[in-house]
Structure formats: C-alpha cells, structure tokens
Structure 1
Amino acid sequence: MTGESTGQQRRAVVVGAGIAGLTAAIALRQRGWQVEVLERAETVGPAGSGLSLWPNGLRGLDALGIGMAVRDRATAATEAGMRDPSGRWLARTDIAGVRDRYGDLVMIHRTELFDILCGALGEGRLRLASAVHEVEITERGIRIRHSRGTSDADLLLGADGINSTVRSLHWPDALPPAYAGYTAWRSIVTPPAPVHSGGETVGRGERFGIGPLGDGRVYYYGSASLPAGASSANGELAELRRRFGDWHEPIPALLDATDPATLLRHDIYELPPLDTYVRGPIALLGDAAHAMTPNLGQGANLAVEDAITAAALLDRYRDIPSALTEYDRVRRTRVEPLQRLSRRMGAALQMSWAPAALLRDAIMRLTPVGPALRGLAPVVTWEPPD
C-alpha cells in the first residue's frame, strides 16, 4: 500500500547506506517500520576523510539517541577561521561563541560515524552488493528489483548519492550533476607534531583546509580551480607540494606525512536544483536530492536533517504521499537557499584574479566577529520536527 497502512507493519526500502540512508533507516526503525537498506557497494563506510558536524546535525543525531556516542568519538572544534598563505589570520571563527549560541561543533572521521550508525541500525537490515536495477510503483506498493533479488515496500527512500540510480529512474528530466570549477584532494595523516588549530587557508584559485581529529591524526583537503578531469603528470602528492609546499605550517608537515596511496582526488560536482524531491511514495534524501559544493561544511548535517524530517512527517501524516509532499515542501525551502549560498562562497574563495582576491581578503579582515557569528543562524539553528 502507498497510502495509510492498517494492521500491518509498514515497510520501507532505503537505497544507499551513506549518512542519509543509514540515519533514515534508524529513524524509521525506531518508529516501528520494517526497514531494509540496499547498498550497491560491498562495504560500508568510506575511508580517508573527515567531516564536520554542526549543531543542527548533532541535534538530529540526538533525536535518534546517538548524539552522545558521536561526541564521545569526535573532537570538539577549538580554533578555526581563515588565513592567507603566510599564516596571517583573515578571520577567526568564534568557536566558543558558536557553542554558547548554537550548540556543539565537532570533527569526526567518517568511518567512526559509520560505525556508530551501523551499530544503531542493528544486524540483518543492511544488504550489501545490492545494486538497484528497476523500481516499479503498483497499486499494492513498490517493487524494487536489485542484484540480489526483489524487495517490496510501501515507501522507497533514495539516498544513493549524487549519481543516484533512484533519481535516474524516476526523475528522467533532472539535469545531470554540474562541475563546480575546482578539484579537491583529501587525506588523513599523522604528523610528527600535534596539530590543534583547524580552519582554511585561501590563496588565488587555491585553498587548503585542516581539521584535527583528536587522536593525533589530521584530516586535510586542498582545492584548485582546474578543468574537470585534469590529472597531475608527476603524481597527486607532487602536485600538492608544488601548490602548497611553501604555505604556512603545518601545511608542509602534513604533506610530508602523507602516504600517496591514501591521497584521494575528486572533482567537485553539484546537483542543479530539482523541481521536487518526491514522486508519489518515493523520496530523495541527501546528495541524491541536493548535492552541493562543500563550502558550508553542511553535507552530512543536511543529510541527517532530511532523514529525521522524513521519519517525523511519516509519523505525523499516516498517508505516505501526503507525508512526502510535506517533506518536499519543508526540505526544499530549507536546502535551496543553502545550495545557493555554498555556491557563492565557493566562487569567492576560489577567486584567481589578484585584485578580486585582495578585495575578498580585505572584506574578511574587516568583518566583525559578531555579525559573522549571527550570520550562522540560518545555517545551524534547525531543530528536529516534533
């Protein structure tokens, strides 16, 4: 059934075992749903990167009862902001002010977060190596054909990333992901000396970000404005050294500590806005719905928000299409302005023209801490639905 279900446990299939998919599966299971998660990969939990969890994302995890477990395995942010390549501060983030005004801000290794989410989901609900091939809506519900068989459901949540199979099957007119104009390198290293200060350093068409993980390891990323598909003739680590090797410490030390085998490089893509995240009893979550550039550090947080909101509205509106219609309205209203803001931030931070970059840096130096702190409100003040 795709409407109100009576006398039977409602069934949900979640496609994709990323942050959005696992969080949604946990939230639905806690509300009495029968849940199955289909993941095309043979393993869960991408290695090699860290992520920031802001107060909004942590509130969503608190609603599931796993927020404290995440905090216990994460690192509380201490010092952050923007610097120039010499190390001079352009703007400092008032971390204490963020915490006092909005709530906790932490950094966590992705594998640590996935371990917590998989533990909360429980055994027997995740089916790996299950690539979806076909999704059919019938009068009796939804039939999903995948590489390990067939699954039936009342609800289908597509949380399978920027190149979503669910979106390609039921949003045939959706525009493909668009290249944002820059590529990114990422790694996690253990430098010889502790690194306590995080943040981002901005140059001309280049950036370098640092996120201490609290156990001696440091997550870092570098980005550069380059054509899509470009490669480095002398290897990616050599390319990073060429671009960032003379920037301020600890950037050279982080590069020296890098194992080339652990260095990841990906071009940055974003998804053009969809006219809807919902098709009947099918909804898209996370990057499948609204993949954006990473400039706000909100990808994981918005994925958690999507999952918590969808589950709450499916409780509030027992009719599934009605619940998802409200989900679509609420989430697009929330997410679309942040997509635009992240895109504008990326354009400013990746500026290559020297006069424009100098003006950007001057504006950052002259912006008072108070207005910058208040400016976070639209991003981080989200609260889980009742």
Structure 2
Amino acid sequence: MPKRHAVVAGAGIGGLTAALALHRRGWHVTVCERAPELPTTGAGIGLAPNALRALDAIGVDAAHAAGSATATTMGVRRPDGRWLTRTATADMAARYGTPPIAVPRPAFTAALAAALPPETIRYGTAVTAVDDTAGRPTVRTANGPDLPADLVVAADGIHSPLRRAYFPAHPGLHYIGETAWRTLVDAPDLRIPAMSETWGRGERFGITPLSDGRFYLYATAVAPPGTRSADPRAELRHRFGSWHDPIPALLDRVQRLAPADVLQNDLHDLAAPLPRLHHGSIAWVGDAAHAMAPNLGQGGCQAIEDAVVLAHLLPAEHDTHTPTSIPTALAAYTAARRDRTNAIRLRARRVGRLGALRNPLAVAARDLTVQATPTPLALRGMDDLFNGFHLPR
C-alpha cells in the first residue's frame, strides 16, 4: 500500500515538529512554507520540561541538535534589581527531571528541518485553501500544483487563513494590550548566569542566556495597537535604560544592531477557544489552534506537544489494518489537547495582566505577593504545566 500522505501548512516549530513526528511514524510528508527559506535571524525560544519530554518521545534531543543554555537561576526582579522570586534550575531539574533550556529559534527550526528527508519542505509555497468536500482533502497552493493528502496539518500561524476558512463564526484574535520587542545580542563577556524577567509599571524586560554567548532579550509595554517608533533601539533605551544592571549594558549591544534586527509585534491571543481542533481530515496545531500570550513561555512548547500527540494518535505505516480512521484519530486529538491548551491560554492571559499593571498601589501589592510566595509553593504551581504532557493511550 502507498504511504499515507500528510501536507503541513507552515514550517514553524509546530509544523516542523508535526512533519518530523509523522515522518518517523512512516508517513510521506510535504511541508508548504510561504517564505522563500527558513529564517536565519530571529529570537530565542525557551523549551520547558514538558516540551523537552515531548521532543524526547519522537527522538529529538533539542540540546544536542540546536545547542542550549541552562541558567543557574530563574526569577522575577524589580527595576531596581531586587529579586521578587528566584529559583535554582537545579531544583527544577530535581522536580521535573530536566531544567528548561533556551535555544536560538533559527538554529532549532534548522535542526528540525535537517532531520526531514530532502525535498520535504517546499519553500515559497503558500497554502491558499483546502478542499475536503470529496472526503479526501486536496490542498490548493498559490503557485504550485494541487496536493492530494490523507491529512492536512494547519500550522499556518496566529493569523491562520485555514482557521478563518473553517471557523468563520469564531471571533478571532484578541489584542492583549501590549506591544513586544525581541532580539539577540552578543555579550559573552557579561557572564550573566540568570534567566530573569523584570516587572515595572506596565513594562517588562526579559533576559535569557543562550549557549553561544548570545542573549535573547525581550521587552513589553502597554500601548495602543500599532504603536511604533522610528528607531526601536532608541525606544528600548528610553524605556529601560535606567533599569538595573545588566540591562543598560545589554542595551549598549542593542544599539550596535541594525534596526531591522529588533523585532516588534503587538501581542494577541485567541479571543475564545476553537470549538474543536480538527475538521474532517484537517488538524490545527500551535498558534493556529490556540494562540496564547507569551507570559508563561508555553506557546512554542504547546505547539510541540500538539504535534507529538497528533502523530501519536494517527495510524503509523505498519498499522495499515488498524480500524482507527483518520477522522476518529483527529477527534481523539481534540479531546486530548483542547482543554489543556485553553487552560494554558487563559492562565497566560492572567499572568500578563499582573505583569502589565501600572497603578502604583496595584504594582506594590503584586510585588509583595510574589515576594511572599515560598519557592516550593511557586514550583508546585508549575506542576500542571511541566508535568502535564502525556501521550494518550
């Protein structure tokens, strides 16, 4: 029998992980990516223990594939440098089996792509529609032939055209009230051992060390949608230049970058959960399925979980006589993933509201509450995130 064919719309982390997981279950996979090539520049991504466990289930060692860095401590600070909460990553490793790691996003996506057979990814090929009226989906592309498939994985991002096409009554995206900047800087001489996020009044600044001596920096600010400055480097200096060390030194490195190397995006999440994460033989993963605010660092992690669970539930090549149909497997995928991802989406929104507080009294109360929370209790509060990945039986 010919191999089952999956077409994946989008070569982001969720799409590439899905492609690799399906390939390793014996599927023939085609990935359609609208960009002309994988990005070579960009930001970083934190891989929490749940994502690392999911990757391990499909034989991917992220630290080996893309390099990684494990900070000695993680925590939240005030603009004056005082720690509100701080946790040793060794304690996280003891509790969850592995500490979180940070990898450059371009290196990670390149490693996933390199693990696929040659010619799997078709660059410069945008999926425009999926016709599934005949019972077997056909993928339409902007500048290529139609692709018949047994399965379509919609990994087409936060603005997912396929989500809009198949869920036209859904309210779509919700602006969470903040804009965000992201960049990578070279600063091995600064020897910053901690992964930290600093909370001010309506502003935040995050520092994540990477394995190659670079740092992934991100910042957020409460702002109307579409707010842009002529020079994002100067805007970051204006907003955060007086905050605690090593933020000013890192901003000095940002000034050496080209303005285009500082990415800025308004932050959105999905206004409401999708009624289901599948339709016929189409499955949605990652931001296309459940776009969430970045406040828990779980957006990419949940996309990885989606991809691994989806492939696990679908029949493998050697399961040609299994009675489980693809639509039945996709219904099981919705049952396994919808509630977990929606709960994390709502939790990320709530945490973001805390970080975005601007009223001085509310900020003081927030900081006192965070500072008074014992570290063991704070860690227990992450158990459902970091221990929540399981392959359905």
TM over 0.5, shorter chain: yes
Whether 2:213 is the aligned partner of 1:216: answer: yes
Whether 2:267 is the aligned partner of 1:268: answer: yes
Whether 2:65 is the aligned partner of 1:67: answer: no
Moved more, 201-210 or 140-149: 140-149
Letter matched to residue 197 of structure 1:
A
Hey, what does 1:168 align to over in structure 2?
164
Letter matched to residue 253 of structure 1:
A
| Separation (CA, whole Å) in 2 of partners of 1:10 and 1:88 | 56
| Separation (CA, whole Å) in 2 of partners of 1:255 and 1:117 | 31
| Separation (CA, whole Å) in 2 of partners of 1:277 and 1:363 | 37
Hey, what does 1:183 align to over in structure 2?
179
Please say if residues 71 and 106 of structure 1, whose CA atoms lie closer than 8 Å, have aligned partners that are also in contact. Answer: no
Deviations 1:120-166 (A, max 9, x none): 11211110111112211133511111022210001111001001121
State the SS of the aligned residue for 1:35.
strand
Hey, what does 2:358 align to over in structure 1?
352
- CA RMSD for the aligned pairs? 1.5
Letter matched to residue 168 of structure 2:
P
| Separation (CA, whole Å) in 2 of partners of 1:341 and 1:366 | 20
| Separation (CA, whole Å) in 2 of partners of 1:242 and 1:183 | 15
State the SS of the aligned residue for 1:31.
coil
| Separation (CA, whole Å) in 1 of partners of 2:160 and 2:86 | 37
Please say if residues 66 and 111 of structure 2, whose CA atoms lie closer than 8 Å, have aligned partners that are also in contact. Answer: no
Hey, what does 1:41 align to over in structure 2?
35
Q: In the alignment, which of 115, 136, 140 is matched to residue 145 of structure 1?
A: 140
Counterpart mapping for 1:186-335 below 5 A: 186-191=182-187, 192-233=189-230, 235-258=231-254, 259-261=257-259, 262-272=261-271, 273-315=273-315, 318-335=324-341
Please say if residues 75 and 108 of structure 1, whose CA atoms lie closer than 8 Å, have aligned partners that are also in contact. Answer: yes
Q: In the alignment, which of 24, 33, 45 is matched to residue 51 of structure 1?
A: 45
Cα distance change on mapping 1:317 and 1:289 into 2, 3 Å: farther
Hey, what does 2:319 align to over in structure 1?
none
State the SS of the aligned residue for 1:80.
strand
Kindly state the Cα deviation for residue 69 of structure 1 after the two structures are TM-superposed: 4.9
Letter matched to residue 383 of structure 1:
H
Kindly state the Cα deviation for residue 385 of structure 1 after the two structures are TM-superposed: 3.8
Kindly state the Cα deviation for residue 172 of structure 1 after the two structures are TM-superposed: 1.5
Q: In the alignment, which of 93, 97, 103 is matched to residue 91 of structure 2?
A: 97
State the SS of the aligned residue for 1:75.
coil
Kindly state the Cα deviation for residue 301 of structure 1 after the two structures are TM-superposed: 0.8
Hey, what does 2:383 align to over in structure 1?
377
Cα distance change on mapping 1:12 and 1:196 into 2, 3 Å: same
| Separation (CA, whole Å) in 1 of partners of 2:48 and 2:287 | 18
Kindly state the Cα deviation for residue 216 of structure 1 after the two structures are TM-superposed: 1.6
Kindly state the Cα deviation for residue 61 of structure 1 after the two structures are TM-superposed: 1.0
Deviations 1:26-84 (A, max 9, x none): 11111111111111111113622111001110111111211255476111232110110
Query: Deviating runs (4+, > 6 A) in structure 1?
Result: none
Please say if residues 66 and 108 of structure 2, whose CA atoms lie closer than 8 Å, have aligned partners that are also in contact. Answer: no
Please say if residues 54 and 305 of structure 2, whose CA atoms lie closer than 8 Å, have aligned partners that are also in contact. Answer: yes
Please say if residues 131 and 137 of structure 2, whose CA atoms lie closer than 8 Å, have aligned partners that are also in contact. Answer: yes
Letter matched to residue 137 of structure 2:
I
Hey, what does 1:3 align to over in structure 2?
none
Hey, what does 2:117 align to over in structure 1?
122
| Separation (CA, whole Å) in 2 of partners of 1:206 and 1:46 | 29
Please say if residues 23 and 304 of structure 1, whose CA atoms lie closer than 8 Å, have aligned partners that are also in contact. Answer: yes
| Separation (CA, whole Å) in 2 of partners of 1:306 and 1:46 | 25
Deviations 1:167-187 (A, max 9, x none): 122222222211110001111
Cα distance change on mapping 1:94 and 1:71 into 2, 3 Å: farther
Please say if residues 182 and 264 of structure 2, whose CA atoms lie closer than 8 Å, have aligned partners that are also in contact. Answer: yes
| Separation (CA, whole Å) in 1 of partners of 2:62 and 2:51 | 12
Letter matched to residue 108 of structure 1:
V
Please say if residues 183 and 266 of structure 1, whose CA atoms lie closer than 8 Å, have aligned partners that are also in contact. Answer: yes
How many residue pairs were aligned?
379
Hey, what does 1:17 align to over in structure 2?
11
Moved more, 168-177 or 241-250: 168-177
| Separation (CA, whole Å) in 1 of partners of 2:88 and 2:380 | 11
Letter matched to residue 362 of structure 1:
L
| Separation (CA, whole Å) in 2 of partners of 1:377 and 1:317 | 36
